[in-house]
Amino acid sequence: MSKKPQEQADKTNSPVQIDLSKSELQEAIMQGQAVLKEGKTKADAARLIFSLIQNEEKDVVVAVFVEGANLTPKGALTYWYNCRRRAAKEAKKAATSK
């Protein structure tokens, strides 16, 4: 007998716990919040955070965006995609200008 659709949805939508206690993640969160306190945008905070922790896994960066840039989880994922694209574009530009 197959599982009910609701039971399957519960298993796939369960939130993943991310450990944000690492010092570099805490530092990124604090710097992101400081940018917001200066009156800058969430995008500015997200770009700063991404530059500090871009080598972390996607889920970790998204969780730090939620905490440090006051984004929703879905909004944080969008910012992650945009920051990743921008970083790749800048890396490609730097490689071709050498």
13, part of any domain? no
Q: Is the pLDDT of residue 98 over 90?
A: no
Q: What is the pLDDT of residue 66?
A: 96
Of 17 and 22, which is predicted with more confidence? 22
For residue range 38-56, list pLDDT tens digits in order.
999 999 999 999 999 999 9
pTM score: 0.80
The SS3 assignment for 56 reads: coil
The count of domains in the chain is 1
Domain that holds residue 55: 22-96
12, part of any domain? no
64, part of any domain? yes
- CA dihedral (44, 49, 55, 60) positive or negative: negative
2, part of any domain? no
Q: What does the DSSP assignment read for 64-80?
A: HHHHHS---HHHHHHHH
83, part of any domain? yes
